[in-house]
Structures are given as C-alpha cells and as structure tokens.
Amino acid sequence: MRLQGKVAFITGGSHGIGRGIAERLARDGADVAFNYGHDDAGAAATVAAIEAAGRKSAAIRADMLDLAAIREMLAEAERRLGTPGILVNNAGVEHKADFWNVTEADYDRVLSVNLKGLFFSTQAFVNQLRAAGRPGTVINISSVHEDLPFPGFSTYCASKGAVRMLTRDLAVELGPLGITVNAIAPGAIETPINTKLLNSPELLKALTDKIPLGRLGKPEDVAGLAAFLASPDAAYVTGATYFIDGGLTWSYHEQ
Ligand code: BGC
C-alpha cells in the first residue's frame, strides 16, 4: 500500500470530490482527517468509508471562513492522528451571478473559501511540517476554470485563477523545504456543486455533448489522480496542474 504510515488532511471531506479522495487515500493506506462545514450525516459517511478501509479517521467541524478555526482544525488533526504529510485543499464553493450583479457578500464568500481558506490551510500545514522537520505534499483542487472562462461565475474564475498561480509560486518557495505543491483541475464532476445541472436533462445533455468522453466525471476519477500525486511515484512532480475533464477544455466544434 503506497500511502502506508501517512496522514492526510482533506478540506471539505463530507461529500463530493473530498469524500472520494478520503476513501481512496484510506484504501491506499493513509489515515485521513478532514473538516466539514455542516453536513454531519455526510461526514459520518466519510468516516465510515475511511474506517471500512481499516484506517483511522478524524472528522472535524470547522468553518473555512474562520481563520482561527482553520488553524485549530489542523492542530486537532495533528493531536488525533499525528502530523499530516498530505494536504488536499478541496473545499470550494461557486455562485452564479451576472458580473454586474455580483454583491460584496457573494464575492467575499467565494474568494474566502476558495482562496483565503486554501491559503491559510496551507500555511498552517506548512508550519506543522516545519516544526516537525518533515517533507510533505499539497494538492490543490482547482478547476478547468482556472484557465477556461466561465461566464456568470466571475468570482469562481477569479479564485481558481489565483489558485493556479499560488500552486506555481508555492512550489518554488516550498521546494527547498521538501514540500511539493500541485493542483488538479477537474471539469464537470458528479458532485453536489453540480446539483442543478444533474437535475436538468437539457442542461446535462448540452454539457455532455461538449465532452469528448461523453460523460461527467466521478469523484473516483479525481481521486485516482490525487492518490498518484500523494504517493512517492509523484516525488519529483511539483508546480504542475493536471486537468481531468474528459477532454472538455479543448473541445471546440463548428456545425
Ligand atoms: C464547476 C462546475 C462546472 C465544471 C465544468 C467546475 O469547476 O464547479 O459547476 O460544471 O467546472 O464547467
């Protein structure tokens, strides 16, 4: 098992891509701590999946909008499972609004969870590694929309574009500490963030028609890539963003 003896921390682990990654890293041998916002039932299901794989888990309720809570969640994970060596920055939100209608509250929420929360989770993780004198790896869950425009989602695009640059910048700054930093840029994945899409046959067909592989991705698809990036097989990979989108980004057709 390639993650035997490792501890992973995942932000936003109660559903979707976060839960998929938690299950997969546990099956690969890691103990897994995660935070979640309010979905107690979802968090319990993630704990059950980690424990079914025979690994230890720690579900920590912590609000990604609260800097003190972010620092405390990593401290609690360290007390319960030991110093995490893998951080998966997965927690993210999106809000659809025409640019001219975006409110300060929309802007603050999306940028605070997707960028500020990721920034300070990473800082807390890095400071734990520095104190322990250990190497580690950071995996940022970005989006194809770190690169690809998404009209109606300007706040989301701003946050994910920043994650792209932060991934590169921190790879350079943290490399000398033995810490690698990479990102995964998923396309359309079957998760609660896409509930509206999944409930509308027309919207779904319009999207899958644009995806060369003809389907949405599953959390397990993303989790396989995260498991690789968390593993020693990726020891020399840093500053990279991996797109996992069924071909969506480069799919352009004229009728
Ligand atoms: C967004 C989804 C969208 C997908 C593909 C993701 O980052 O969260 O809402 O369907 O990108 O456009």
> For residue 130, how far is its CA from the centre of ligand 1 (angstroms)?
35
Comparing C-alpha atoms, which of 87, 91, 164 is closest to residue 129?
87
What pLDDT, in 10s, does the model give residues 28-50?
999 999 999 999 999 999 999 99
Report whether pLDDT(1) > 90. no
CA atoms within 13 A of residue 122's CA, in its CB half-sphere: 29
Query: CA of 22: how far to CAs of 127, 136, 213, in Å?
Result: 23, 17, 25
Q: What's the pTM? A: 0.97
| Ligand 1 atom closest to the CA of 186, numbered from 1 | 7
Catalytic residue among 36, 156, 242, 252: 156
Greatest extent of the chain over all pairs of C-alpha atoms, in Å: 59
Q: Cα 229 to the chain's mean position, in Å?
A: 12
| Ligand 1 atom closest to the CA of 94, numbered from 1 | 8
Whole-number pLDDT of residue 253: 86
Length of the chain: 255
> For residue 246, how far is its CA from the centre of ligand 1 (angstroms)?
12
Query: Phi/psi class of residue 178: alpha, beta or left (left: φ > 0; alpha: ψ in -120 to 50)?
Result: left
Could you tell me if the CB of 188 is within 6 A of ligand 1? yes
Tokens encoding 162: 């920043």
- DSSP-assigned states of every residue in 17-74: HHHHHHHHHHHTT-EEEEEESS-HHHHHHHHHHHHHTT--EEEEE--TT-HHHHHHHH
* Domain residue extents for the chain: 7-243
More confident residue, 114 or 254: 114
Q: Which residues contact 216 (CB under 8 A, 6 or more apart)?
A: 188, 189, 190, 194, 198, 204, 207, 208, 246
Could you tell me if the CB of 28 is within 6 A of ligand 1? no
To the query of whether residue 242 is one of the catalytic residues in this protein, the response is no
Mean pLDDT in residue range 213-242: 98
Whole-number pLDDT of residue 255: 74
* CATH superfamily of this structure's domain 7-243: NAD(P)-binding Rossmann-like Domain (3.40.50.720)
**For the chain, what is the mean pLDDT?**
97
What pLDDT, in 10s, does the model give residues 140-174?
999 999 999 999 999 999 999 999 999 999 999 99
What is the share, in percent, of the chain residues with pLDDT greater than 90? 98
| pLDDT confidence band for 204 (50 / 70 / 90) | very high
Tell me the best of 159, 189, 222 to mutate to test the pocket of ligand 1, counting ligand atoms within 8 Å of each CB and taking the most: 189
Whole-number pLDDT of residue 47: 98
| pLDDT confidence band for 254 (50 / 70 / 90) | confident
Could you tell me which residues are beta bridge partners of residue 32?
8, 57
- 56 near 31, Cβ under 8 Å? yes
> For residue 99, how far is its CA from the centre of ligand 1 (angstroms)?
17
Whole-number pLDDT of residue 249: 97
Give buried/exposed letters for 104-125 (b at 16+ CB in 10 A, else e).
eebbebbbbbbbbbbbbbbebb
Could you tell me if the CB of 112 is within 6 A of ligand 1? no
Whole-number pLDDT of residue 225: 98
| Ligand 1 atom closest to the CA of 197, numbered from 1 | 10
What is the share, in percent, of the chain residues with pLDDT greater than 70? 100
Tell me the best of 144, 160, 164 to mutate to test the pocket of ligand 1, counting ligand atoms within 8 Å of each CB and taking the most: 144
